[in-house]
Amino acid sequence: MSNKNVLFKNTADQLGRNWIITPANSELESLGYARIVLNDEISEVNYSNPDFESALICLAGEGQVRLNGDSHTLKPYDTLFVPPGNEGSIKTDSNFDLVECTAPSEESGPAVYVPFDELNEDPELTQDLGVAGCHRKIHRLIDENVPAQRLLCGLIFSEEGNWTSWAPHEHAATKEEIYLYFEMPPPSFGIQLVYEDIENPEYLGPVYNNDAVVIKKGYHPNVAIPGHPINFVWIMATLDPSMERSWSDVNTQPEFAGE
């Protein structure tokens, strides 16, 4: 088992806008993840996305995203979908922690603001799922609610000691994915699996706050330790712009079908 280019540790440890995972440093074909961390030391960065669509997801703090003359204020879990070809800046008066999810796109248009307070009340986009041992709450931040071409993004909050992404499923023929773990302060951690053959997994090991795991292929369930949750942003993109953009188009591991 090799963790090379699968596990990316402590991805929020630098200020500014920093590319963390791209096709250049992983097995991914098109999906990307950048982190934008601002405070009083670096309070503003320039922003542009010339040839890719982006989802800017606020994990902590508050700040403003200014694009082509429009300004959007984001607070925790608010999301801004940004089609290609936008330019502007990102600024805060305090602290601001943004996840940037990207995929190549040729679709233009205005940015779309997705306020979490409204999304949290939408039964189509926020749901409690699972049974005993694998309860979790899911928030679909980038789904049918925005005109993305390839991106699908959201949040998972597990119950303490529970599994998520269960039953084990895979989608290698249509989509690639990144899991980014958050709100898991020490000593919390989870266990992530990525495998086609459980006897020879691509990754099987601990994941901590701000770690990220690349899921190019294989089943990818995870589990929280007792007394703690496992929470993560899922960042997903279709392999091709012509493919259906649906999170439900997956294959369940046959041994666990129906669970």
> With 70 as the cut, is the pLDDT of residue 3 above it?
no
Task: Report the C-alpha gap between 253 and 251 in whole angstroms.
Answer: 7
Domains located in the chain, CATH noted: 7-256 (2.60.120.10)
Average pLDDT, the chain: 96
Please identify which residue in the block is written with the tokens 């009083």. 40
CB 212, CB 21: distance < 8 Å: yes
Evaluate if residue 257 carries a pLDDT over 90: no
pTM of the shown model: 0.96
CB 76 within 8 A of CB 119: no
Query: Which three-class secondary structure state does DSSP give residue 141?
Result: strand
pLDDT band at 2 (very low <50, low <70, confident <90, very high): very low
What pLDDT is attached to residue 138? 97
State residue 1's pLDDT score: 40
CB-based contacts of 253: which residues, under 8 Å, 6+ apart? Answer: 167, 168, 169, 170, 219
Distance of CA 75 to the CA centre of its chain: 17
What type of residue is 73? T
Torsion of CA 105, 106, 111, 116, to 10 degrees: -30
- At 169 the pLDDT is 96
The fraction of the chain above a pLDDT of 70, given in percent, is 98
pLDDT confidence tier of residue 26, bands split at 50, 70 and 90: very high
Mean pLDDT of all residues in 37-52: 97
Is residue 230 within 8 Å of residue 183, measured between CB atoms? no
Contact 14, 210 (CB under 8 A): no
3-state helix, strand, coil in the chain (%, to 5): 5, 45, 50
pLDDT band at 233 (very low <50, low <70, confident <90, very high): very high
Residue 258 predicted with pLDDT over 80: no
Instruction: Judge whether residue 194 has pLDDT over 50.
Output: yes
Lowest mean pLDDT of 18-22, 75-79, 101-105, 106-110, name the range: 106-110
- The pLDDT assigned to 4 comes to 54
CB contact at 8 A, 183 and 99: no
Work out the average pLDDT over 24-51.
97
